[in-house]
Structure 1
Amino acid sequence: MGVIQATVLLFGSFFVMLLGGVPISAGIGIASIITALASGMDFSIFSLTAAQRCFSGVDSFSLLALPFFSLGGNIMNKGGIAKRLVRFARLFVGKVPGYLAATNVLANMFFGAVSGSSVAAASAMGSIMGPLEKDEGYDPNYSAAVNICSAPTGILIPPSGPLILYSITAGGVSVAALFMGGYIPGIMLGVFVAGIAIIMAKKMGYKSSTIVETESPWKVAFDAIPSLLAVIIVMGGILAGFFTATEAGVVLCLYCGALGIVYKELHAREFYELLADTMVSSSTILFLIASSSIMSYVMSYTGIPAAISAGLMSISNNRYVILFIMNLFLLIMGMFLDLTPAVLIFTPIFLPIARSVGMSDVHFGVMLIMNMGIGSVTPPVGSCLFVGCGIAKVGIEGVTKYIVKMFAAMVLALLLVTFMPIFTLLIPYLCGLVPSFWW
């Protein structure tokens, strides 16, 4: 079987199963098995190699960081941290039109900077901001759209679980460099969404804040400091070499758990439920990684990554054209694939292409995660879209008309990050983590 036929069979069978409702992890594994056998691989050798690849794919100390950061995000969601961050964010944007929408964006950026999860941010902020916006007469579809589109800042502003996953998949790219590289793109994404949200709010006649805060701004800021301190502890510890990214996840869980107890928001029963939820979500990710390891093996055996690379390079040798095509493809794929499988599938395909046009591993990783984050707000498989709509109790059709304009702003931010490496690499360069902040 030729490379083209193998590519069509692998991805074609996968998407057919995806449309048929087969779980993504199972679809990846089944499509890989079908392609391997159709390519003439000996079944006994393939089955033995596939088992070894599954085990080696999840046998990584660095992978422990994912459940710990996931648990930390869940603890913050339930531990009263989100509410304090919302009050703190309102101090900065209370005077702008549609201040609650702007507060939602800023609070998602703060919460994402602590939790590292876009879905957790969409859930936490949607449940807090939704009722407040409804009381002030905001269109629930508009409120949900703002919450959904600003949630992906959480996977760019560190700490970030997806950036850790990319680091492992790419073969050990510096987590510290990726974390530092995510700051400016994450902030840009939030600012662009907030700008569109404020313009839309002004046109719809939404006013600035009329709420009279019973406590002084200093007291509100003081209450938020312990929550924001989690970022300093995690990032400072990693950069100073006190602990690894995995150990940072443990520190985050312990710190946020202690805060939840101090705030009297968490009890033994809640901790049990949070641990159970984290175990379920982590097992799903591990199954995805295991099945994706089989797909990576099959793609290498059939020569699919090399063929795709050669195909792209035959279109043009101009890096900007190649990166534009790559972004277009990833944006489309992000509409159909969740973030975790997308990172596992596309990193081994596109990272060699990015390297061939002079793009650093850190720059490509941030661009990839940003693409997938934008994809999470679009139908039909957008995780943030479904969580945000579910929390707000609104339909996808009503939200989409507002998302379209914000989506355009998000794509603009993506293009700036893609074609201007300084936005990604400047902070890592200043920290001595990368050799240059340009091509």
Structure 2
Amino acid sequence: MGVIQATLMLFLIFFGLMFVGVPISVSIGVASISILLTGFDLDALAYIVAQRCFSGIDSFGLLALPFFMLAGSIMNKGGIARRLVRLARCFVGKIPGYLAATNVLTNMFFGAISGSSVAAASAVGKIMGPLEKQENYEDAYAAAINICSAPTGVIIPPSGPLILFSLTAGGVSVSALFMAGYIPGILLGLCVMAVAIIIAKKKGYTGSTVKEDASTLKIFLDAIPCILMMVIVMGGILLGWFTATEAGIVACLYCIVLGFLYRELTVKQLWNLMSECMMDTAVILFLIAASNIMSYAMSFTGIPAALSAMLMSITDNKYILLLIMNVFLLVLGMFLDLTPAVLIFTPIFLPIATGFGMNPVHFGVMLILNLAIGSVTPPVGSVLFVGCNVANVTMEEVTKYIVPTFVAMVVALMLVTYIPALTLFIPQLAGLI
């Protein structure tokens, strides 16, 4: 079978099964096995599939994912989000769209601790929504800003998708990726905040009239234990005290202790959160196993090399190639969730990017930023769905505010893409690359 026929067959089966409602991991597995059937007999194929599934999940580094997921869930229930909201309000000041800007900054804080955009959209949205309603903010506007700022959680470390990229890319340093995510994540948040303030001025949303019962000092002291987790986790990784996986365990233990100290987490809630995390981890592991079969199928049929040759035949200008990759990933990000997209497209685009001299760490942050932006767009935007559900608004209502914010997010993406120093400066400063 030729490369073109194999590519068409693989993706037609994959998207066709997804369209009729087959789970994405099953769609990936069936499409991949269908391609491999053209080159192997059933006995050999059974051995290859089993081997690829096992090798895909046989990784110590993969343990970091469930631990950081659990830490984010505990934060959501343990009163940490509320304290971060109060801290963010102190930083923002009395600017137009004060509460919307607070929402953005809180999502950045939350992302720097939990690493989950969906958790941020849910936890922060539930707190900010009632406050913004008191100030007569339009529900759709408030929801849109919450939705578009939540993806900072998967760029600012710790980040599950960056860990996943590291494993899929064949061992790119997690520490380097974590350090590389800070400036792009902050830049993304600032671009969203700028749009929020501009729209707030046009709509006449002034500074907040909500009065804080506590002093700024007390609010800051109350939030210090929350912020300290970020310092402990990232500092420990940088100083070599523990690996990213061990950092996930430290984050879980720290969040559990903090939740009980704040008296907002019970043993029953913790048990339920651990059960949910185990179920979510099983789904992700199955997805990774199936994606490893797809990676093998693509390598076997020569799809990545063919795509690379095709792109190079269009142009050898790396700036045009980067633009093509960005457009492709932005469009596909609208139809695929972040996790499977990382698993599918990393083996395809990473060799192309490194082929024209792009640093793998730079590419990884660009890839995750692309797909994070896709999580706020229909029809398969997980953050969009969660944010709309929390605010009790429809996708149609928030679209008019998401469109200008989406443009600002793409501006941040282009800056990150074409100015490597924004990504590589901190890792280089830390001696990680």
Q: Which TM bucket (shorter chain)?
A: over 0.9
Instruction: Tell me whether 1:175 sits opposite 2:174 in the alignment.
Output: yes
The equivalent residue for 1:4 is 4
Structure 2: how far apart are the matches of 1:370 and 1:43? 40
Q: Alpha-carbon deviation of 1:174?
A: 0.6
DSSP 3-state at the match of 1:378: coil
The equivalent residue for 1:35 is 35
Structure 2: how far apart are the matches of 1:401 and 1:411? 16
| C-alpha distance after superposition, 1:357-404 (max 9, x if no partner) | 110010000000000100000001111001111111111111111100
The equivalent residue for 1:240 is 239
The equivalent residue for 1:216 is 215
The equivalent residue for 1:408 is 407
Q: Alpha-carbon deviation of 1:261?
A: 0.4
Q: Alpha-carbon deviation of 1:125?
A: 0.6
The equivalent residue for 1:16 is 16
| C-alpha distance after superposition, 1:142-166 (max 9, x if no partner) | 1110011000000111111110010
The equivalent residue for 1:158 is 157
Q: Alpha-carbon deviation of 1:40?
A: 3.2
Give the gaps of 5 or more residues in structure 2. none
Q: Alpha-carbon deviation of 1:199?
A: 0.4
Structure 2: how far apart are the matches of 1:186 and 1:43? 47
Which amino acid counterpart does residue 13 of structure 2 have in structure 1?
S
The equivalent residue for 1:339 is 338
The equivalent residue for 1:316 is 315
Which amino acid counterpart does residue 137 of structure 2 have in structure 1?
Y
DSSP 3-state at the match of 2:431: coil
Is the 2:135–2:208 contact (alpha carbons within 8 Å) kept by the matching residues of 1?
A: no
The equivalent residue for 1:275 is 274
Which amino acid counterpart does residue 122 of structure 2 have in structure 1?
S
Instruction: Tell me whether 1:147 sits opposite 2:146 in the alignment.
Output: yes
Structure 1: how far apart are the matches of 2:320 and 2:171? 28
The equivalent residue for 1:108 is 107
Further displaced range: 409-418 or 94-103: 94-103
Structure 1: how far apart are the matches of 2:203 and 2:43? 65
The equivalent residue for 1:373 is 372
Alignment map for 1:278-289 (pairs within 5 Å):
278-289=277-288
Alignment map for 1:348-363 (pairs within 5 Å):
348-363=347-362
Q: Alpha-carbon deviation of 1:113?
A: 0.2
Q: Alpha-carbon deviation of 1:28?
A: 0.4
Alignment map for 1:248-263 (pairs within 5 Å):
248-263=247-262
Structure 1: how far apart are the matches of 2:318 and 2:285? 34
The equivalent residue for 2:326 is 327
Structure 1: how far apart are the matches of 2:6 and 2:133? 52
Which amino acid counterpart does residue 370 of structure 2 have in structure 1?
N
Q: Alpha-carbon deviation of 1:312?
A: 0.7
Structure 2: how far apart are the matches of 1:192 and 1:186? 10
Structure 1: how far apart are the matches of 2:383 and 2:42? 40
DSSP 3-state at the match of 2:357: coil
The equivalent residue for 2:197 is 198
Which amino acid counterpart does residue 277 of structure 1 have in structure 2?
E
Is the 2:56–2:289 contact (alpha carbons within 8 Å) kept by the matching residues of 1?
A: yes
DSSP 3-state at the match of 2:340: helix
- Aligned-residue CA RMSD (Å): 0.7
Structure 2: how far apart are the matches of 1:41 and 1:320? 40
Instruction: Report the count of equivalent residues.
Output: 433
The equivalent residue for 1:364 is 363
Q: Alpha-carbon deviation of 1:41?
A: 2.4
Instruction: Tell me whether 1:125 sits opposite 2:129 in the alignment.
Output: no
Structure 2: how far apart are the matches of 1:17 and 1:427? 42
Which amino acid counterpart does residue 286 of structure 1 have in structure 2?
L
TM-score where L is the length of structure 1 = 0.98
Structure 2: how far apart are the matches of 1:393 and 1:237? 40
Alignment map for 1:178-189 (pairs within 5 Å):
178-189=177-188
Which amino acid counterpart does residue 236 of structure 1 have in structure 2?
G
Structure 1: how far apart are the matches of 2:207 and 2:356? 47
Which amino acid counterpart does residue 393 of structure 1 have in structure 2?
N
Give the gaps of 5 or more residues in structure 1. 435-439
The equivalent residue for 1:437 is none
Percent identity between matched residues is: 67
DSSP 3-state at the match of 1:353: helix
Structure 2: how far apart are the matches of 1:52 and 1:136? 58
Alignment map for 1:8-87 (pairs within 5 Å):
8-37=8-37, 39-87=38-86
The equivalent residue for 1:99 is 98
Which amino acid counterpart does residue 343 of structure 2 have in structure 1?
L
Structure 1: how far apart are the matches of 2:5 and 2:128? 50
Structure 2: how far apart are the matches of 1:204 and 1:227? 34
Q: Alpha-carbon deviation of 1:109?
A: 0.1
Which amino acid counterpart does residue 198 of structure 1 have in structure 2?
I
TM-score where L is the length of structure 2 = 0.99
Further displaced range: 42-51 or 368-377: 42-51
Which amino acid counterpart does residue 413 of structure 1 have in structure 2?
A
Which amino acid counterpart does residue 353 of structure 2 have in structure 1?
A
Structure 2: how far apart are the matches of 1:322 and 1:80? 45
DSSP 3-state at the match of 1:128: helix
| C-alpha distance after superposition, 1:59-103 (max 9, x if no partner) | 111000000000000000000000000000001113111111100
Structure 1: how far apart are the matches of 2:422 and 2:250? 29
